[in-house]
A and B are shown apart, each in its own frame.
Chain A
Amino acid sequence: MSTFVQTNVFTDIDCQSTKAAALTAFAGKISTTNALDKSALVQGFLAREAESTTGFGNGVAIPHTKITGISEPIVSVISFQHPVDWTSLDDQPVEIAIGLVMPQTGADQDHLKVLSKLARKLMDTDFIAALQAARHDASQLYQVIQSNVDLSH
């Protein structure tokens, strides 16, 4: 499955260091690469952030939303040139965001399970350190995730 491909990894993106700006930039990248409706994506991300922050600490956030028009989830990774104020759980700014875009309905159980494995992996500090070390290089970043989480289901 094409849940995670390297074309969905974006490094050192230059944008304003607010959460809204960062999410808008991220949504722009994802929607262009995957032919999705950008404004729906932005709204979805922001709505989820409004419920509670997805910045879970150590400079990483996991914005996510559901959207119509796709049948498989999309995993995308972005790193920011300027750390973003994400109102994270540990109050630290965010350098890396892992975006999860899921089908509005009818998501395949196996795909969702893969995403839950990725979420669990984010609690591993070694994995986070490896992400941080690779954040300026798209192929390295892709490799770190691919080798740590089996996304090939």
Chain B
Amino acid sequence: MKSFVGVTKCPVGVAHTYMAAEKLQKIGEAQGYQVKVETQGATGVEDGLTAADIQAADFVIVAADVEIDGENRFNGKKVLHTTTAAAIKDAGKLVADAQQLQTTQTGATTTTTTTSSNDPQQSPIVKQLLNGVSHMIPFVVVGGLFIALSIAIGGHPTANGMVIPKNTIWSAMNQIGSIGFQLMIPILAGYIAYAIAGRAALAPAMISAMVANTPAILGTKSGTGFIGAILVGFAAGYLVKWINTWPIPKDLRPIMPIFVIPLLGTGVITAVLILFLGAPIAWLMTSLQDLLTFLSKNPSTSIVLGLVLGAMIGVDMGGAVNKVAFLFGVASITAGHAQIMGAVAAAIAVPPLATGIATFVRRDLNTEEEKSAGVPAILMGLIGITEGAIPFATANPKHVIPSVIIGSAVAGAFGMLFKITDAVPHGGPIVGVLGATNHLLLYLLAILIGVAVAVALLTVFKIRHAKKQAITAK
């Protein structure tokens, strides 16, 4: 169905704002349009446009005598700017003029949604995902670098991992970084949902994503990490989008986005998470653990064990599967099989190092965001923080996740082959440099081989993708 959206605003905000809105609504509907007009009047914003409304609209009419709030929402749309008087006088002409518009609004500020919309082939789902990723990246960077720096300078390798003495500046930095990492999950889910259904979807998505990452509520040993956050983001977004299509009496509409939708959305999504996701995740974790135990009992399968451990580290980078592999490695230290932790520690470094280094190979084919996330990812990789690869994996899961899984698996297998031991439950080159491994050079070699494999795969994917786009562009 053809549709347009509008915004009206006048100086006093009692008369012309509403007259212009009414006129646009009437004329538009008479011409067969689906119309939604946001009024910015003395009573505040009414009939506020959602991201979904704007996305669905063929064009935008801004009938305002003063500057409106949220002009940049329309970047990338065809926008007609006019006065309330013009809308009241001849709304039909405005609709006709707006239909004829050829150029879209660029806007002075480049938001991430507009940079990613440069790609005409991009599906809405990818755009929504990227909206989440671009909002998440700063949190990953701050969290990751604070943690990395605090461990690198203030950390001591012990049997309990990299321990930072309490009440030091490094301890504070580490905790600040952890907050960044905790926030990354709801921000990712929240802004995926926001791109789908606007502000009302933010609360259900962010709260539910925290629930999905809180083992105590889910009844599991681990949260679902960034993969859970993505699923929650899309679920919340489309749920709210659907609720928005319900026929609601006009008088009840104002309380929908601030009251009904957040409560209903959060209730439904968290209930589904607890009832239908908790048990399968707990089962998956137990099964994986059984598999690892089985593999570790037989010395002849040690390389397979390394491969599986490495792959698991790369699958969800801090999520449930990763956690099983990591905890299995930690348990092996106390059991006297520190070579299992050695394989895990090598694999841990691969995803962030590989995705970071890959941004320097054929750098021209990378987006600006990828380029800026590259160096932080490498730093996080050196310190053994797998989460550094999450922005890349989220933005481009089809290429990045297989590449880092294979690279991590290779690093894990070589770790086993070289019989590397690691007495500290932590990963990345740092534990080797600090002397926790039995053979520093072989340890670094295992990491390097894994990184090389992953970078090669990432580069092949990247070049193939660029070629494919060049062909479709012609």
Contacts and interface: CB of A to CB of B under 8 A. Distances in A.
Contacts of B39: 116
B11 A90 contact: no
Nearest to B90: A89
B62 interface: no
B18 interface: yes
**Residue among B11, B14, B44 facing the most chain A CB atoms (10 A cut-off):** B14
B14 A100 contact: yes
Task: Sort chain B's interface into a size bin.
Answer: 20 to 34
B471 interface: no
Contact of A119 (B11, B19, B65, B83): B19
Contacts of A28: none
Contacts of B14: 64, 100, 102, 112, 115-116, 119
Given A57-B89, A89-B88, A112 B41 contact: yes
A123 B85 CA distance: 12
Interface in A115-153: 115-117, 119-120, 122-123
Interface string B223-262: 0000000000000000000000000000000000000000
B26 interface: yes
Question: What is the predominant secondary structure among interface residues of chain A facing chain B?
Answer: mixed
A102 B11 CA distance: 14
A113 B43 contact: yes
A114 to B, nearest CB: 10
B12 A48 contact: yes
B65 A123 contact: no
B339 interface: no
Interface string B1-42: 000000000011011111101110010000000000001011
A56 B12 CA distance: 16
Interface in A63-121: 64-66, 89-90, 100, 102, 107, 109, 112-113, 115-117, 119-120
Interface of B: 11-12, 14-19, 21-23, 26, 39, 41-44, 46, 65, 83-85, 88-89
8 contacts: A52-B16, A54-B15, A65-B12, A100-B14, A116-B39, A116-B43, A120-B22, A122-B19
